[in-house]
Structure 1
Amino acid sequence: MGNPLAAHPELRIGLVGAGKISNAYLTTLPRLNNLRLTAVADLDTERAATAAGTVPGARATTLDGLYEAEDVDLVLNLTIPAAHAEVAHAAIDAGKHVYGEKPLATTTSEARTLLDAAADAGVRVGCAPDTVLGTGVQSARAALDSGDIGIPVAATAFMVSAGPERWHPDPEFYYRPGGGPLLDMGPYYLTALVTLLGPVRRVVGMASTFRTSRTIGKGPRAGTEFPVEVATHVVGVLEHHSGALSTLMMSFEVWAGALPRIEVYGTDGSLSVPDPNRFDGPVRLFRARTQEWEQLPVRGGYQDASRGYGVADLARAVAQGGPHRADGELAYHVLDVMESMLAAAESGRSVQVGSSCDRPAAVPADARPEDQ
């Protein structure tokens, strides 16, 4: 496939899956200069029409119509996890780039097949989360790269909640393969840890499922009970190639907690990293020499970023011919780490992570996705 930006100033986007998460993308895409939403498809045609109607120039179409459309260069895959690989393959077969919500696929086997197909077709694969491209994680990375805490020794990452069925009207997919706290929320935390500390080579883990069913708490189906098919509390330790050790806990079993989102500990201090499910937030540094915490200024990342900036970064890379940051190999490695943690929990042994990836390039301060 040729460079679609050679003839068009924007990467033209076809969105598949107009569910809840699409609202964030529909808000962001129109304000990014190097992207243009042209088509929306969903199994619910009325929902597709409603979504398309929010963006001037976009139209509702069928899935096949979107894949075949000449004015679609990239398929934005916002379907449920179980459909991620199927939609991505359809896009790749049609010669389109693809950018999807996390995880890349429900298994590493599916994900590798997808990446191999994209390589053969000469198209790019990108994957959420792109929250790590914002000022929060990128300012923390700038502090690490500047040696502000010395040599990173360890990190902690905690995501605890009582489960999405409290607020989501159709939460079943969170509790099916491809879901659970690890595969749903783990990508935010693990992508941040890889961005900060580099790839992971070995893991240990334990997992449990305390309840075999959950009950929808909100919406027209409130009170409906459904089965739980995945682990709902997962803990583990990750050994990075750098030697740093990260402790991870992902849970849908905790009503309240006072745990940090992410902290990194070094030979000369500590770093408090904001919620990796957000693009911004305060970064705090504790220096051993001063014995005090201080809040750091913004030192990197796309300012005022929101979901969709990873797509814009991919468009920038297509135009310039270089790598994009939220790429398929990073998403594959994160999926491999999660799958390895679950395998370690099942076997009771440490598991070598078979994949690796490049640490994504830092996003400079005051960067714009179309020119960095």
Structure 2
Amino acid sequence: MTGPVGVAVVGCGTISHQYLRNLTSFPDLRVVGCADLDVERARQVARQYGVPVAGAPAEVIAHPDVELVVNLTIPAAHAAVAAAAVAAGRHVYNEKPFALDRESGTEVIEAAAAAGVRLGCAPDTFLGAGLQTAARLVAEGAIGTPLTALTLLQTPGPESWHPSPEFLFKPGAGPLFDMGPYYLTALVTLFGPAERVAAVARRAREERVVGSGPRAGTRFPVEVPTHTTALLEFAAGQAATMVFSFDSPLPRLGFIEITGTEATMELPDPNTFDGAVRLRRALADDWVTVPAEGATAGRGLGVLDMAQAIRAGRPHRATGELGLHVLDTMLAVAGSAERGEFLPVGSTCEVPGPLPAGWDPAQGLL
């Protein structure tokens, strides 16, 4: 096929608006349909973004103009929706995490391979200007040989601002599974795959309270750890210390620091697409700022790269295998915290190549 790739968005909740603002603006994509179990919500979102088709997931996935399904459902539904789209012969781009468990994630990978369709997975923030700039600097030897990393994600929790935060405290979420993919994907794309992990985890409170919206004041149970500290060892030899917490009164967001033999590098927030990189060389008195160069459009860059790759017959970058490896690493972290021992990470993945210099999402290639 030629021309823009037909896209269906399945799951029209809060995050869908960030995607649709971009997906409907990229010349190489044509958003054909919006789907949700709440069909009226799908219709409202479709009208808002000028999308011609709206309906239930199975109906929209089956539309003949849909080639690529963007799966923005809740984590517990990711694998099932992806499997249904694959069975219909569609390429699939999942929101993170790729699945809730290794088995269902692996089944989707195998089904896609058998069907000859592609899988992608968020986050795609590593395709943004900030992390692409960092990757180029590492590849050019700006910090020497990368040795270690430190990441921090500490907040009081999302229930203060999210009008329906319950799913963020259920299996498949919590700070590790909700926010961990941004930090782990950034490190895997810089260091390569993780090899083994150790971790401890805690849960500060058994209940939380919705803090905003029409349901403010509603109490709900906390089903997962809300603080995890992990040690990771990568196959190439690097080590990382990582903190993921919804229990901290003092917010520390977006902190990633990588130390090499020649310099330390401070990366931008991995949950964003922009932001300067800072370098501090050995014995230097201060940091040097390196402005970010690249795409800053926001969520959906991975979908766009995947669509262009489909047409060009080349590999895409935000792959299902990368998403499954990040999931596998998080599951190993959670298992280590439960068992109190180092655990191996059984999967691996290819490190995505850099984007072409000057890649511009607003400039259509198809």
Instruction: Measure, in 1, the Cα distance between the counterparts of 2:70 and 2:85.
Output: 9
Instruction: Measure, in 1, the Cα distance between the counterparts of 2:248 and 2:98.
Output: 26
| Greater than 4 Å deviation, 4+ residue runs | 257-260, 369-372
Q: Which runs of 5+ in 2 are unaligned?
A: none
Instruction: Measure, in 1, the Cα distance between the counterparts of 2:151 and 2:284.
Output: 25
Query: Structure 2 length normalisation: TM-score?
Result: 0.96
Q: Give the CA deviation at 1:212.
A: 1.0
Partner AA of 2:319 in structure 1: D
CA contact (8 A) 2:150 2:256 kept: yes
Q: Give the CA deviation at 1:86.
A: 1.1
Q: Give the CA deviation at 1:371.
A: 5.0
Task: Give the CA RMSD over aligned residues.
Answer: 1.5
CA contact (8 A) 1:13 1:38 kept: yes
1:247 equivalent to 2:236? Answer no
CA contact (8 A) 2:152 2:243 kept: yes
Instruction: Measure, in 2, the Cα distance between the counterparts of 1:216 and 1:257.
Output: 19
Partner of 1:133: 127
1:359 equivalent to 2:351? Answer yes
Instruction: Measure, in 2, the Cα distance between the counterparts of 1:77 and 1:223.
Output: 31
Matches within 5 A, 1:342-357: 342-357=334-349
Partner of 1:112: 106
CA contact (8 A) 1:26 1:51 kept: no
Give a deviation string over 1:176-197, Cα, whole Å, max 9, x none.
Answer: 1101000000000000011111
Partner of 1:297: 291
Relative to structure 1, is the Cα distance of residues 57 and 81 closer, same or farther in structure 2, using a 3 angstrom cutoff? closer
Instruction: Measure, in 2, the Cα distance between the counterparts of 1:117 and 1:280.
Output: 35
Partner of 1:3: none
1:31 equivalent to 2:25? Answer yes
1:177 equivalent to 2:171? Answer yes
Q: Give the CA deviation at 1:288.
A: 1.7
Instruction: Measure, in 1, the Cα distance between the counterparts of 2:132 and 2:272.
Output: 12
1:73 equivalent to 2:63? Answer no
Partner AA of 1:217 in structure 2: G
Partner AA of 2:86 in structure 1: I
Partner AA of 2:259 in structure 1: Y
Partner AA of 1:351 in structure 2: L
CA contact (8 A) 2:72 2:94 kept: yes
1:335 equivalent to 2:357? Answer no
Q: Give the CA deviation at 1:61.
A: 1.9
Matches within 5 A, 1:221-236: 221-236=215-230
Partner of 2:205: 211
Q: Give the CA deviation at 1:81.
A: 0.4
CA contact (8 A) 1:298 1:365 kept: no
Of 88, 94, 97, which residue of structure 1 is paired with 2:91? Answer: 97
Matches within 5 A, 1:184-195: 184-195=178-189
1:16 equivalent to 2:23? Answer no
CA contact (8 A) 2:153 2:252 kept: no
1:162 equivalent to 2:156? Answer yes
Q: Give the CA deviation at 1:289.
A: 5.7
Partner of 2:142: 148
CA contact (8 A) 1:203 1:341 kept: yes
Q: Give the CA deviation at 1:325.
A: 0.5
Matches within 5 A, 1:244-283: 244-257=238-251, 261-283=255-277
**What percent identity do the matched residue pairs reach?**
48
Query: Structure 1 length normalisation: TM-score?
Result: 0.95
Instruction: Measure, in 2, the Cα distance between the counterparts of 1:169 and 1:258.
Output: 22
Relative to structure 1, is the Cα distance of residues 344 and 33 closer, same or farther in structure 2, using a 3 angstrom cutoff? same
Give a deviation string over 1:124-159, Cα, whole Å, max 9, x none.
Answer: 111110111001111011111111111111001111
| SS of alignment partner, residue 264 of structure 1 | strand
| SS of alignment partner, residue 105 of structure 2 | helix
| SS of alignment partner, residue 64 of structure 2 | coil
CA contact (8 A) 2:71 2:78 kept: yes
Relative to structure 1, is the Cα distance of residues 259 and 304 closer, same or farther in structure 2, using a 3 angstrom cutoff? closer
Q: Give the CA deviation at 1:368.
A: 3.1
Partner of 1:237: 231
Q: Give the CA deviation at 1:257.
A: 4.2
Q: Which runs of 5+ in 1 are unaligned?
A: 1-5
| SS of alignment partner, residue 31 of structure 1 | coil
Instruction: Measure, in 2, the Cα distance between the counterparts of 1:248 and 1:56.
Output: 42
Partner of 1:220: 214
Partner AA of 1:80 in structure 2: I
